[in-house]
Amino acid sequence: MTLRKKVFLFTVTAFTLTTALVTYHQFELYRELLKKEKESFCEKSTFEFNKLVEFHKRVANSVSSYIARDSDVRKLFESGDKEGLYLKLKPLYEEVSRENLIREISFFKLPAVNFLNMRNPRESGRDVTGIRRDVVESGKNCITTKSIIICTNYVGIRAVNPITKDGKAIGLVSVGIDMEDFLRYYSSITGTGCGLAIKDEALKRSLLKESYMAYTSKTVRKEEYLVSLQGGTKDLVGALEFSGKSLKVKVEDKPFFLCNVPIEDFSEREIGYFFTYKDVSSLSANLALDSLKSLLGSYIPLLVAIFIGSVLSLGRVSAKVEKLYALTELIKKRKFHELPKTPSLGRDEFGAIESAILDMAKEIEKYINVLSKEIEVYTGKAYMDNITGVFNRRAFDEFGKEVIDRFLALGKPVSVLMIDIDDFKKINDNYGHQVGDRVLAELGRLIKETLRDSDMVFRYGGEEFLAILPSTPLSGSLRAAENIRKRIELHRFSAGEETIRLTVSIGAAQGQGEDKDAEDVILRADKALYIAKKTGKNRVAREI
């Protein structure tokens, strides 16, 4: 064999082996990437489900607790005045049900006898002791219960609070959120398809006959489960599997990720699954594998073509990126009315991002509006500090923390400012407590006027104030804090015939993904305040 033939044979062999190794490497890379994507999708779906369930439990509990503690409600319930009770709560029920926040408000006599159902006022007298163990437990131990329950009418998230007298339960208030509304909310928030698979025997055990028939008419049977979908088709139901937490299935030859999250009721019995699904046919790894199979012998020209195509499309990509940036600027400035009503960047990845941004903007605007309404509601209650005119510590404990927790649960920015008067004791010592109170009142007014209407200000301690800035990152909270500091430094406070100048120190912190609840954010803001004090006072410090 001549040398030329040997070199030729060696070259062909080397090329063949290289091609085989590249093919094998690409295949393994694709499998590993798909595995990680699948695990990541399931982890994210499980986290979002748990967070949103907890958020809805808190919403239901807030309404239930508010009703249960109302003295008029207790008197009407105790006297057996159903009509009076219904008329009192009708405006509240119509408001929350119209917004799809709450599906049902029900009252029970002990241990679990239906007294009044706001959704169906004529429905009463039914003993649900064997079905509503959450109601029985709440009345028996005079505690709050929050769980996913199948009642006589539907599957829902419920919070139960006792109506008490002299420390004992005399009745119960149950507030429910329909899981169908939860599915729509989850899908709109995350942009992911989802569904619910509930065991048929669990539904038969709890639902009334007419409710069971209505439920079966709008669901699809899959083995022992009745399945309801938010988006998707019956073909997807046929491909569902509940043998594992994270699966990859095919629907009409399209690959889908499927994530199952087991659901337990109040008695810790598994009643079914919440599941999410995602079409992964357009994953870049999948496309790369298809391209490798069809163009295995010419991948270098393919790379050149991709490079040329990338250069040619750079202008279009740049324009789309600038448009996405412009949308974020409008959201940052809260100019929601200037946002387009529908996406305009097409059906590619940029169009999907634009659609997600617009959906997120709608949710942010909704939360700002809800928050403003909550502020209006709470303002008329015993939650105002009688000296400063801002919310008091009780208000912070009862709903201020809830606001921070809500934004943390949804992964949206929220910041906290801790504001403390420098050397306030000298003012009390030199001018008396009456002057000190007037200074506190004036300071509260200045802080409120400097912040936005959607921000919330609390008197946290003696001369310490706390401000919650929803939808605000750390950079924005630092600017707001500096505006407060400058305004107070330049202001002249009245002390009889004299005027007083004073300063404040401010600590700022933003909620982060690792924060468990509001206390973590407040702790970091308090540490930042300590730094501001220790480094000279009259300054703003940020979290470390």
Of 379, 394, 409, the residue that ends a domain is 379
Residue 2 lies in a domain: no
Structure tokens at 526: 């308090």
Higher pLDDT, 423 or 248: 423
Residues of the chain with pLDDT > 70: what percent?
84
Q: Mind listing the pLDDT tens digit for each residue in 460-474?
A: 988 999 999 999 999
- Cβ atoms of 128 and 152 within 8 Å: the answer is yes
Pair 70, 145 in one domain: yes
pLDDT digits (tens, 9 = 90+) for 359-369: 777 777 776 76
C-alpha of 489 from chain center: 38
Residue where a domain stops, chosen among 285, 309, 329: 285
Closest CA to 108 of 87, 137, 88: 137
Taking only the tens place, the pLDDT of each residue in 170-204 is 999 999 999 998 998 898 888 888 999 999 999 99
Pairing of strands 540-542, 504-510: parallel
CA Rg value for the chain: 30
pLDDT at 310: 46
381-438 confidence digits (pLDDT tens) = 578 998 999 999 999 999 999 999 999 999 999 999 999 999 999 999 988 999 999 9
Residue 514 has pLDDT above 80, yes or no: yes
Positive or negative, the CA dihedral 445, 531, 398, 359 is positive
Q: Which residue has the higher pLDDT, 299 or 52?
A: 52
- State percent of the chain over pLDDT 90: 50
Q: Are residues 375 and 388 in the same domain?
A: no
Residue 106 above 90 pLDDT?
Answer: yes
Q: Residues 371, 413: one domain?
A: no
- Whether residues 184 and 279 share a domain: the answer is yes
Give the confidence band of 271 by pLDDT, cuts at 50, 70, 90: very high
Chain centroid offset of residue 412 CA? 8
**Is the same domain home to 448 and 345?**
no
From CA 296, how far away is CA 340, in angstroms rounded? 44
pLDDT value of position 307: 45
The residue with greater pLDDT, 457 or 299, is: 457
Check the CA dihedral 397-402-407-410 and report its sign.
positive
Average pLDDT rounded to a whole number, residues 20-28: 69
The DSSP call for residue 145 is E
Same domain, 407 and 500: yes
Residue 8 forms part of a structural domain: no
Residue 27 lies in a domain: no
Q: What is the largest CA-CA distance in the chain?
A: 114
Q: For 200-229, what is the mean pLDDT?
A: 92
Do 211 and 224 fall into the same domain?
yes
Domain of residue 300 covers: 296-379
In terms of phi and psi (left: phi > 0; alpha: psi -120 to 50; beta: otherwise), the region of 226 is: beta
Q: Identify the pLDDT of residue 343.
A: 80
386 shares its domain with 357: no
Work out the pLDDT band at 318, boundaries 50, 70, 90: low
| Cβ neighbours for 75, distance < 8 A, ≥ 6 positions apart | none
- Lowest-confidence region among 134-148, 209-223, 301-315, 317-331: 301-315
- Whether residue 397 sits in one domain with residue 324: no
Instruction: Choose the final residue of a domain: 253, 285, 317.
Output: 285
How far apart (Å, rounded) are the C-alpha atoms in residues 468 and 400? Answer: 8
Residue 141 counted as domain residue? yes
The more confidently predicted of residues 48 and 281 is 48
* Whether residue 251 sits in one domain with residue 391: no
Taking the CB of residue 544, how many other CB atoms lie within 10 A of it? 8
What pTM does this model have? Answer: 0.50
The confidence score (pLDDT) of residue 312 equals: 54
Q: Which of 2-11, 39-48, 90-99, 189-198 has the lowest mean pLDDT?
A: 2-11
The answer to whether residue 30 sits within a structural domain is no
For residues 417 and 373, membership in a common domain is answered with: no
Q: What is the mean pLDDT of residues 101-114?
A: 92
Number of domains in the chain: 3
Residue 506 in contact with residue 419, Cβ under 8 Å?
Answer: yes
300 with 403, same domain: the answer is no
504 in any annotated domain: yes
* Nearest Cα to Cα of residue 270 among 224, 236, 314: 224
- For residue 337, what pLDDT is reported? 72
Whole-number pLDDT of residue 165? 93
The pLDDT of 123-145, averaged and rounded, is 92
Residue 29 lies in a domain: no
What CA–CA distance (Å, rounded) separates 125 from 397? 37
**Cα 108 to chain center, whole Å?**
30
pLDDT for 348 beyond 90: no
For residue 9, is it within any domain?
no
Instruction: Give me the CATH number covering residue 535.
Output: 3.30.70.270
Residue 344 confidence (pLDDT) above 80: no
CB 326 within 8 A of CB 354: no
